[in-house]
Structure 1
Amino acid sequence: MAPFSSFGRWGVDRYRGGVTDPIPLADLEAALLRISTEAVVTPVVRSDALDEAVGAEVLCKAESEQRAGAFKFRGAFNRLSMIPDDDRHRGVVAVSSGNHGAAVALAGRILGIAVTVHIPEDAPVAKRRLIEEAGAEIRTFPAGTGDRESGARAQVAETGATFVHPFEDPHVMRGQGTTALEFHGQVGPLDVLLVPMSGGGLMAGCASAMYHLDPGCRMVGVEPALADDTRQSFEAGRRVFIDPPRTIADGLAVVAPGKRTLSINRGLVAEVRTVTEQQISDATRFANAELGVTLEPSGAVGIAALLDDPGAFAGLRVGVILSGGNLDPDRLLPPPTAA
């Protein structure tokens, strides 16, 4: 693949049949204002070792320092803030492998809304603990099941609670997009921005923000090779459903991208790169040692992509979203690659 520096600026036709309805800038700015009383302005971190390894200026947005340990708090708080007062007594229901649930639980506690989170039986202990500490009720479903939402949907039908989808909800997407809105205000224009991808909500929000603020920035998604639903969907031109993935990047383990998110991302994202379990493990260790922040594997996939193919990014101003830092000490990473 040619280095990014050989590509021109974005054209009006974009990537795959034209721009597909990016989130309006006014909606992103309203979300940023709405969450500003509770969300943390997360730091930008750098490492000489990373710059040297890639041959680029690498600027990392440490969402691992966000409340509840991940970017998910932005979307969760924005969504719960939009629930009408007359509906709040019915509560909120979420489905999550961990970070979304922890974020919704914390947002609910702040806003005085009861929360139930449906999680897989093998959800990371650290993330389960965050949900419990925020006072949410936990219900579990079998690990590896393809239908993660049936129990939650049944509860919503019975109680009238608000279901907060982790990536398809427009208010959640707008909240996640504040990550890039804030990042741009901190660092200015970028040549490329790498964003972890699972259901695609973070990317849909960030790509929309950069479309409005920095249209020369090339958006690159990153996902585990064992959970490459978005890469396959891009290649097929439609949503592709994969078997329930098993990856150390548990926060990126979904069976398909969202319908809404894929519609946005196909028009705004240049490509999706995949990284192996070993590359994710090595990048997690590298980031935790060199950047001064604690990352979970899902939060380190952007670093993994840089280290996998540094020549593609050499000489560029590169942004990376470090999406989360809820590292589970009970889950061992694969041994580091031998030097």
Structure 2
Amino acid sequence: MLTIEMIQDAKKVLEGVARQTPLLSTTLINPGSDVYIKCENMQITGSFKLRGAYYKAANLTEEEAQHGIVACSAGNHAQGVAYAAQKMGIESVICMPAGAPLAKVEATKNYGAEVVLVPGVYDDAAAKATELQKKKGYTFLHPFNDPYVMAGQGTVGLEIVEQLEDVEVVLVPIGGGGLISGIACAIKTLKPECKVYGVQALGAASMRNSIRDGKVETLSEVNTVADGIAVKQPGDKTFTAVQKYVDGIVTVTEEEIAAAILHLLEKQKTVAEGAGAVSVAAAMFNKVDIIGKKTVCVISGGNVDINILDRIIDKGLQVGGRLTDFSITIPDKPGQLTRMLQVIADADANVFSINHDRVGKGVAVGKCKVDVTVETRNKEHYFEVIMDLKENGYDISL
């Protein structure tokens, strides 16, 4: 059973292993609130997962350690386990979803673990890890549903209270629930008046649904850019802890996650993966009442897949009204395209890409369809561009 004493012991064990990550103040995430970001993306291995993995490994019996350990992970827990095992001289095998970001897979291998890629999502990797545990006699190191793992993650909560004594709200990403279980236990024990809220991706809201319905439930599928929290079923132990300590759970959309990642890159000069940015998305889009309150957003990890970062940035620009697609039908006559582009230029918008089609399906004879992507300053500027085009007689499809 998770206790504050375990969390405090974990802090001692992790001294010299895990970093005390920065707590940075920002006025830009939500102008009406006093927001801070807890930068676990700056932790060793790039996420908070090292804390729980190391504390669990440190509490293995000698016999368990000799048999080696097996774990399942979308990437961050994998790196934490591999790092801890390498430090302690323990053999480690990590089962990862085949679609896990390549950067996380390679990082896990570089820490000395054997990686087994499994078709599907986290839950499929978990099933494979269980199979290997029974077959090879490994000790299974669960990524969240374990009191020692939860206690290790809870050291983040201890640090938050130490770094900001008058904290009023803490927003924490939720996948399986290990991080928020530990953080909420620590904060509610030391500072019960502080509110702790969990944040999940709308496409992977297994804990939100389970708490709402009063029982552990399994999603039929998960779909989110936040691969680190793409969990179909929360743990029974984490479910109990969330019921006991957490004040509520909210969800954020894929577009909101992308906007948060972009904001952190552009305004805070920090890299967050999708799972790590959901807490910031909740603050940005007022999912919880934080106006006038000292609020901490836990950025749980920064191991973003560089191969998809450009797509995430584009999506974030679209949400902010800074990159927008629309189509315009114009007469197929000399000079018409130039005139249309001049209207856009006069509105101080920049054409990012353009496609001119006069023979496509649905395009009338004597007309052509122009698909345009423009860069604008914000949503207000975008609407100004659209109004200018309409006032000049252009037929626009958004």
Q: TM-score, normalised by structure 2?
A: 0.77
> Matches of 2:149 and 2:261 in 1, distance apart?
26
Aligned length: 316
Which residue in 1 is equivalent to 2:160? 183
Hey, what does 2:55 align to over in structure 1? 78
Q: How far does residue 138 in structure 1 lie from its aligned partner after superposition?
A: 0.6
In structure 2, the CA distance between the partners of 1:82 and 1:310, relative to structure 1 (3 Å rule), is closer
Q: Deviations over 1:258-291 (max 9, x none)?
A: 1010111112111111000000000011012222
Bigger Cα displacement from structure 2, 273-282 vs 229-238: 229-238
Higher deviation after alignment, 220-229 or 311-320: 311-320
2:296 to 304, 319, 334: 319
Taking every aligned residue pair, what percent have the same amino acid on both sides?
A: 33
Q: Higher mean Cα deviation, 92-101 or 150-159?
A: 150-159
| TM-aligned CA distance change 1:116 to 1:223, over 3 Å | same
* Match in the other structure for 1:137: 114
CA distance in 2, matches of 1:69, 1:116: 20
Tell me by how many angstroms 1:230 deviates.
Answer: 1.2
CA distance in 1, matches of 2:125, 2:166: 39
Cα separation, 1, equivalents of 2:122 and 2:189: 38
Secondary structure of the corresponding residue to residue 303 of structure 2? coil
Structure 1 position 60 matched with structure 2 position 37: yes
Aligned match of 2:222 in 245, 252, 267? Answer: 245
Q: Contact conserved, 1:54 with 1:306, CA < 8 A, in 2? A: no
Aligned to 1:47: 26
Mapped to 2, the partners of 1:286 and 1:92 lie a distance apart of 38
* Pairing 1:107–2:71 present: no
- What SS does structure 2 have at the residue aligned with 1:312? coil
> Within 5 A, what are the aligned runs for 1:272-283?
272-283=249-260
**Any idea what the Cα deviations from partners look like across 1:160-180, whole Å, max 9, x if unmatched?**
211000000111000000011
State the Cα distance separating 1:148 from its structure 2 match.
3.1
Question: C-alpha displacement at 1:159, in angstroms?
Answer: 2.3
- 1:286 is matched with 263
Could you tell me which runs of 5 or more consecutive residues in structure 2 were left unpaired when the two chains were aligned.
322-377, 379-398
Q: CA RMSD in A?
A: 1.5
CA contact (8 A) 1:54 1:313 kept: no
Q: Which residue of 2 aligns with 1:221?
A: 198
Q: Which moved more, 1:23-32 or 1:317-326?
A: 23-32
Q: Distance in 2 between matches of 1:191 and 1:265?
A: 18
Taking the aligned partners of 2:303 and 2:172, their CA distance within structure 1 comes to 17
* Matched-pair contact (CA < 8 Å) for 1:70–1:325: yes
Unaligned segments of structure 1, at least 5 residues: 1-20
SS of 2:193's partner is: coil
Whole-angstrom CA distance in 1 between matches of 2:175 and 2:122: 16
Q: Which amino acid aligns with 1:194?
A: L
Q: Aligned partner of 2:24: which letter?
A: V
Structure number with greater CO (CA < 8 Å, separation at least 6) is 1
Counterpart-to-counterpart distance in 1, 2:276 and 2:4? 26
**In the superposition, relative to structure 1, how do residues 102 and 311 fare at CA in structure 2: closer, same or farther (>3 Å)?**
closer
Query: Aligned partners of 2:229 and 2:288: how far apart in 1?
Result: 26
Cα offset, 1:158, TM superposition: 2.3
More strand by share: 2
On the 8 A contact 2:74/2:122 being kept in 1, the answer is no
1:291-313 CA-to-partner distances (Å, cap 9, x unmatched) read: 23211111010110011117821
The residue type paired with residue 319 of structure 1 is V
Corresponding residue of 2:10: 31
**Inter-CA distance 294–215: structure 2 relative to 1 (3 Å threshold):** same
Q: Kindly tell me: are residues 269 and 59 of structure 1, through their superposed partners in 2, closer, same or farther at Cα, counting changes over 3 Å?
A: same
Deviation at 1:46, TM superposition (A): 2.2
Distance 2:4 2:120 in 1: 38
Q: Does 1:211 align with 2:166?
A: no
Distance 1:271 1:311, change over 3 A: closer
Contact 2:97 2:124 in 1 (8 A): no
- 1:222 and 1:275 in contact (8 A); partners too: yes
Question: Which deviates more from structure 2 when the two are superposed, residues 23-32 or residues 273-282?
Answer: 23-32
Q: TM-score, normalised by structure 1?
A: 0.90
Point out the structure with max Rg over C-alpha: 2
Q: CA deviation at 1:32?
A: 0.5
- Alignment partner, residue 298 of structure 1: 275
Q: Distance in 1 between matches of 2:132 and 2:3?
A: 33
